[in-house]
Amino acid sequence: MTAPLTVLTEEERMFQGAVRDFAESEVRPRVCAMEQAAQLDPTLIPKFFELGLMGIEIPETYGGAGGSLFMTVLAVEALSAVDASAAIFVDVQNTLVNALLLKWASDDIKQRYLPRLATEVAGAYALSEAGSGSDAFGLHTKATKQGDKWILDGRKLWITNGAEAQLFLVFATVDVSRGYKGITAFAVERGFKGFSVGKKEDKLGIRASSTTELILDRCDVPAANLIGEVGNGYKVAIETLNTGRIGIGAQMIGLAQGALDHTIKYTRDRTQFGKAIAEFQAVRHQIARAATELEAARLLVYNAARLRDARQGFLTEAAMCKIFSSEVAERVTSLAVNLFGGNGFVKDYPVEKLYRDAKIGQIYEGTSNLQLQTIAKQIMG
């Protein structure tokens, strides 16, 4: 199945097709090796840039593709059908790093970093800490102004793209006593004095995607690398994550589609009691229900992206698409394992990986409980 063509323009269909072809020709042959190595193939990363996938919304004047969030959604969905780890590498770059800089950074920062992010530099978004996961604004990384620079001290955890990134958008507080009103955002390069990448997490799923800690030990950051204004980092973070949740929704529907495609093919090929298991009504009905839920999730994701591109309110829709798509991904991948039977439980077949990869969707960029809280607040007041 594919999304209804009526919701896509000709340009969007062509772009979607190009990314699908890329995913099949360049990503799929590397999936098993990347999973075993627990890292992205270094030779794959330049190809993301060559295809223009790392700067989809960056204007052409900065060397980007000048596209939309919806095009990012199409790219992440297509990549996720093959490998969710490759997809999240692209997703974080576009929905968190580039989107934040485009809206909040000074012209100077845009001039210095956007052309590089579009063509050669991977970025990461560093908000979470050991004591501030869902309570994101309980962070304790400290920022102190000294002359023409800021000194950052603290540790960040669970930073996606941490192993590959050269630019990190780091959130710190200028005064813990001010609560969320002290939070401020900074652009931090890997080579800055006092900055280092620490432990890489050993994860259940999306194993090829790097998740690391960051160590800021009196890290020197030029004053010119302040993003937005002092104390408005909480607003920068919230608005960026609202967009990021649409990207996670795209990852989940792509991943679920990949699982469903594998399952349909397998049930046609697998015979029991003298016929393909796809001929049994119980199997057909389970697949039909999965396809229906997946299409509903897809339309929620697409709608949220369209609203954001149209500059209309999308907070509720972003939360809805994330929670629903992540739950659908878990159900569809679980069904895939079930219908593959014993083969679904071994690594010789693809669906056990998809099942493990799906779980993170209910956790990162805002847990399901937080999405429910957001939705309830918006619809109930």
Question: Would you name the residues annotated as active-site residues?
Answer: 365
The answer to whether residues 259 and 354 touch, using CB atoms and an 8 Å cutoff, is: yes
User: Which amino acid type is present at position 22?
Assistant: F
User: Which amino acid type is present at position 224?
Assistant: A
C-alpha separations of 231 from 79, 145, 227, 367 in Å: 37, 13, 10, 25
Instruction: Give the phi and the psi of residue 201 in degrees, each rounded to 5.
Output: -75, 145
What does the radius of gyration of the chain's CA atoms come to, in whole angstroms?
Answer: 21
The answer to whether residues 251 and 245 touch, using CB atoms and an 8 Å cutoff, is: no
Instruction: Give the phi and the psi of residue 343 in degrees, each rounded to 5.
Output: -65, -25
Question: Given the DSSP bridges, would you call strands 271-272 and 211-222 parallel, antiparallel or unpaired?
Answer: unpaired
- Spatial distance between the Cα atoms of 199 and 202, rounded to a whole number of angstroms: 9
What is the distance between the terminal CA atoms of the chain, rounded to a whole angstrom? 38
Joined together, the tokens standing for residue 329 give 């991904």
C-alpha separations of 170 from 96, 147, 187, 269 in Å: 12, 20, 6, 50
The answer to whether residues 75 and 53 touch, using CB atoms and an 8 Å cutoff, is: yes
| Burial of residue 78, with CB atoms counted within 10 A of its CB: 0-12 exposed, 13-18 middle, 19 or more buried | buried
Give the CA angle between residues 336, 341, 346 to the nearest 5°. Answer: 85
Joined together, the tokens standing for residue 83 give 């490998």
The answer to whether residues 212 and 92 touch, using CB atoms and an 8 Å cutoff, is: no
Beta bridge partners of residue 169, listed in sequence order: 125, 187
- Spatial distance between the Cα atoms of 45 and 367, rounded to a whole number of angstroms: 29
Joined together, the tokens standing for residue 92 give 């974080």
Q: Is 160 helix (H, G, I), strand (E, B) or coil?
A: strand
Instruction: Give the phi and the psi of residue 151 in degrees, each rounded to 5.
Output: -110, 120
